[in-house]
Structure formats: structure tokens, C-alpha cells
Amino acid sequence: MPDNQHTVARPGQERYVAEVDEQGLGAVDAVSDESAPASMWGEAWKQLRRRPIFWVSAVLIVGALLLAAVPGLFTRVDPTFCQLHDSYGPAAAGHPFGFDRQGCDIFSRTIHGARASVTVGVLTTLIVVLIGTVIGSLAGFFGGWLDALLARFTDVFFAVPFVLAAIVVMQMFKGRSSIVTVVLVLAVFGWPQIARITRGAVMSVKNEDFVTASRSLGSSRLAILVRHVLPNAAAPIIVTATVQLGAFIVSEATLSFLGVGLPPSMVSWGADIASAQAALRDHITVLLYPAGALALTVLGFIMMGDAVRDALDPKARK
């Protein structure tokens, strides 16, 4: 109350005086700065661990990696040991999925088939990310004639149908192909999408204030690209690579199904699906087990990519 105003109390009326608040607004509105601010990846982890889709996809991916790394934990049966008198035999003790046309144990072949398919997917993704990140980051960061040249080079590969090109090239190695051959062929035609994603992410990050500050401190352009731009542009690259990993597993199965992928002597889901088509009407279970394992593995990587995208993109969360 101002000093020039006075309160006049009537006779018999008690005067009420409010107690002075000893805690000021500054103390009430103060924010504790003892804890370090959460990074983008820390916030993403908080979002991920709250989503059931992340845990379901993580279980599927870990299961597929275990099958590929240590198949002996799940079965002791040799997948290449076949007896014709067991052809299309039903499930038995130690053989829960029964037998295929050649009398091979379907359960063992399904378990061991994960190694070739997952290995092709992982190695192809690593090479594709390496090629696409280098080309896309150089084009997006330096711009100018280099951007135009690399963009046209990327468009040439983008215009080529991915699976069709892989089939044509793999015909040259028919009968003598290997995991390395399949990986290199898929990687040659699979990098343009990563390159485009990387180029767009780098172009959106290179104009940020921290890049300008680093440039004013005398850092070289290459150092700024490697130390500051790429780490902050990695989110969309990781999401795309996760989804593409599942696509590369499907591509390997497609090539093996068509007879131009991995050799018949190598156990893979695609080869088993191809051999099972002859008994599709009478013995459909021979097809369901390798196809189901393939579908669950690919589904795990796609779901993981969606979960990571939503966690790293604030707009998607809203």
C-alpha cells in the first residue's frame, strides 16, 4: 500500500495484516542447474524406452543376431545332413519342424539360415552407409560444382532398378557366387538413398550457429564437417540405414530364390523358400518356417527404424 494512503478502522472492527512472505519470487522461480542438460540422444533414449514397439523390435533383432552368431545354442543337428527316407516327414523328437523334400531337418536349416541372410544385410548396410555418407556429406557441405557433379552421379544410380540390376550383375557370377559377391553387388546399387538423406541433413545443419562459431575459431572445413556437422546430421542416416538393413535381407532372399544369389551349398532362407515352392500345395509348412523367420527379422528392423525416427524427430512425437 502506498505511503500516502491510510487505512481507517471502524470502531470494533479488527484490523487484519497479512504476513510478509519470506520467500521471494526469485527463489520460487529458480531452476536448478546442477544437472547437465540432456543431449539429443539422451532425450531419444527416454522416448524409446517408453515405447512397446521398441522393445518388441529389440527382442526380434537380438534373436536374429543370436541365431546368426551362435546357431549351436539352438540346435545340434547338421543342416546339411539329409536322408531321403525322411522326405517330408512329420515333426519328431529333436526335429520339431519336420523334414523337407531332401530329408533335411527344417528347424536346423531355419536356424542356420539366419547367418547368411543377416550377414549379407549387416555388411551391405555398413558399406552403403560408408559410401552414401561420404558422397552425400561432400555434396551437401561444399556445394557448388562438386554438389552438381555428385548429385548427377547419384541420379544415374538412382534411375537403375535396384533388384533388376542386382539380378543382371549376379548372372555373371552364377554358380560361383559367395557372401562377398552378393554384398558388393547390393552395395553398388543400394547407396543412393543414403547419399540423398545425408546431403539433405548436412545442408540443414551446416548453417547452424555452432558451425559458424567453429569456422570463426579457425577450424578447417573438413574438420568442421567431421567433428560438428556429421554428428548432428546422423539421426536420419541411422533411421534410414536401419530400415534398409531389412530391405537388404529381403533382397538377398530374392536373389537366392531366383537362383542367382548364394550358392545352393550355403544354407539361407531364400534358398529354402525357393526349394519349398515345389511342395506348396501339399506341404506348406516347409515354406512357412523359413519365410516366417525372414518376415520376423525384417519386421524387427523396420519397427526399430520407425521407433528411432519417432524418438529423434520432435515433430513426429507431436
Amino acid identity at 165: A
Residue 13 has pLDDT above 70, yes or no: no
Q: Who wins on pLDDT, 220 or 32?
A: 220
Confidence of residue 186 (pLDDT cuts 50, 70, 90): very high
How much is the mean pLDDT over the chain?
82
Confidence of residue 37 (pLDDT cuts 50, 70, 90): low
What is the arithmetic mean of pLDDT over 1-28?
54
pLDDT reported for residue 187: 92
Least confident of 24-28, 123-127, 208-212, 230-234: 24-28
What is the arithmetic mean of pLDDT over 74-91?
84
Structural domains of the chain in order of their starting residue, each with its CATH number: 53-317 (1.10.3720.10)
Record the cell numbers describing residue 92, joined without a space.
519328431
122-163 per-position pLDDT tens digit: 999 999 999 999 999 998 888 888 889 988 898 888 888 888
What is the arithmetic mean of pLDDT over 24-51?
64
Helix 234-257 with 162-170: angle, nearest 10 deg: 50
3-state secondary structure of 115: helix
How far, CA to CA in Å, does 154 sit from each of 27, 143, 150, 211? Answer: 58, 14, 6, 26
What phi, psi does 258 have (nearest 5°)? -85, -5
pLDDT reported for residue 284: 83
Residue 316 has pLDDT above 60, yes or no: no
